[in-house]
Chain A
Amino acid sequence: MPLVETLPVGPDTAQWEVWGTVARLVVTDPARLGQASHLLQAELSAVDRACSRFRPDSELREVCRAGGRPVRISSLLAELVGAALGAARDTDGAVDPTVGGALCALGYDRDFAQLAGRVVGPGVRVFPAPDWRAVQLRGRELTVPHGVQLDLGATAKAVAADRAAARIADRLGTGVLVALGGDIATAGPAPENGWQVLVQDRPGDPACTIRLPGGAALATSSTAGRTWGRPGELLHHIVDPATGKPAPTVWRTVSVAAFTCLRANTLSTAAIVRGHGAPALLGTVPSRLVTPGMHVLRMGGWPQ
């Protein structure tokens, strides 16, 4: 089950379901909430049309059907693919957009809400991901090798949060927090006490509240959130590109703070994939790691 948002919805807040999770919007000027909601919805719709893995009419699906031929794409999709390839480059491939085929083979081939109750047979086939460097993006010309399916899920949601927050603050002149599941971006002036964010994966998990300054971002990746499969063999959605299988559950949850949601999500996802190598990867970046036994490791100045 994806994020369970239990916080109240006040006059400065809007909330709705999207992409199998919860979109939550908070503004410092409640009079701007309606306009801000429209801007966020427009941004999410545009990103969905550009790169949904589940929509047959998305631009991304069209490129993946092109049989390895170069396709001219929109500037938005170019930005989203560029972000995904940048994340792959910066993590030495730990966050790789070419895992789409592996996810489909594992049964995650439709919107997560439609996976509820679906039992994947024991004969699950898994495929190591092709190398992300086989994907060529030159300006607005994208070439995806024949047979490769891209999944931008790890980065597109974060980019959407960053873009929407920046656009809302810029156009409406209000401080804003955009939360898409575990991905949170802020822009403009923060409330007097900063942005108060509850960091907690599932109900009953260890929790803490942190204060984010204006312009900061936070992302949480989890091996417990989106799970499916069958009793005794649960699968989760963070695939190790090296094996084509869900990453071993060394960490239940990883949260990272950064100045952009893209960077925060890239690091939190890579930390899950790297497993025991996560502390070395994260270095001195503010981060919080929770083990399957619910022990909490705080790094980089994450508050106690």
Chain B
Amino acid sequence: MQRDIGRRRATLVTGALVVASVAATVGIGAAAYASDSSTSSTTTTASTSTDSSSSSSSSSTSSSSSSSSDSPTISSGSSGSGSQATSGGS
């Protein structure tokens, strides 16, 4: 009788430990995911902020080839009216 009670108690304790262990593992995993998410989110926010402040400079500035779809149309100037600024190597 005493032995059965002891076995039941041992089973209950073992079960409780297993449940606690699983819960802790899940908790750690969730915390790690949240941490990654927040890091990723913050980093993305910084990049987005930069991109938005730089308007068309975001993903369209491809390293392989750039497109004119987000570029202004420029034309020949009228030298007779005088230039307002010089663009040379600074």
Contacts and interface: CB of A to CB of B under 8 A. Distances in A.
Interface of A: 2-8, 13, 21, 24, 26, 78-79, 82-83, 85-87, 90-92, 94, 137-139, 157, 159, 162-163, 177, 179-184, 191, 193-202, 205, 208-213, 215-226, 253, 255, 257-260, 262-263, 266-267, 270, 280-286, 300-304
B60 to A, nearest CB: 8
Contact of A259 (B72, B76, B84, B90): B72
Contact of B87 (A79, A182, A270): A182
A253 B84 contact: no
Interface in B32-61: 39, 42-43, 45-47, 49-51, 53-59, 61
Contact of B46 (A3, A7, A13, A82): A82
B2 interface: no
Contacts of B53: 79, 83, 159, 162-163
Contact of B57 (A24, A138, A139, A258): A258
Contact of B54 (A86, A226, A267): A86
Contact of B88 (A8, A202, A259, A300): A202
Contacts of B72: 212-213, 215-217, 257-259, 286
Interface of B: 39, 42-43, 45-47, 49-51, 53-59, 61-68, 70-79, 81-90
Contact of A212 (B54, B74, B81): B74
B55 A260 contact: yes
A197 B83 contact: yes
A225 B88 contact: yes
25 contacts: A2-B89, A4-B88, A5-B85, A91-B61, A91-B63, A137-B43, A138-B42, A139-B45, A193-B81, A196-B84, A197-B83, A205-B88, A209-B76, A216-B72, A220-B88, A255-B87, A258-B56, A259-B70, A280-B65, A281-B66, A283-B68, A284-B66, A284-B68, A300-B68, A303-B75
B70 to A, nearest CB: 6
A220 B86 CA distance: 10
Q: Which of B64, B74, B78, B89 has the most CB of A within 10 A?
A: B89
A181 B87 CA distance: 7
A157 B90 contact: yes
B84 A177 contact: yes
A77 to B, nearest CB: 12
A50 B90 CA distance: 20
A286 B57 CA distance: 15
Given A94-B63, A197-B87, A260-B56, A86 B76 contact: no
Given A3-B89, A179-B87, 16 more contacts: A85-B47, A90-B57, A159-B54, A184-B85, A195-B85, A196-B83, A197-B83, A198-B77, A198-B86, A200-B86, A208-B76, A222-B90, A255-B87, A257-B72, A258-B70, A285-B68
Nearest to A181: B90
Contacts of B54: 83, 86, 159, 162, 260, 262-263
A7 B84 contact: yes
Contacts of A86: 47, 50-51, 54, 57-58
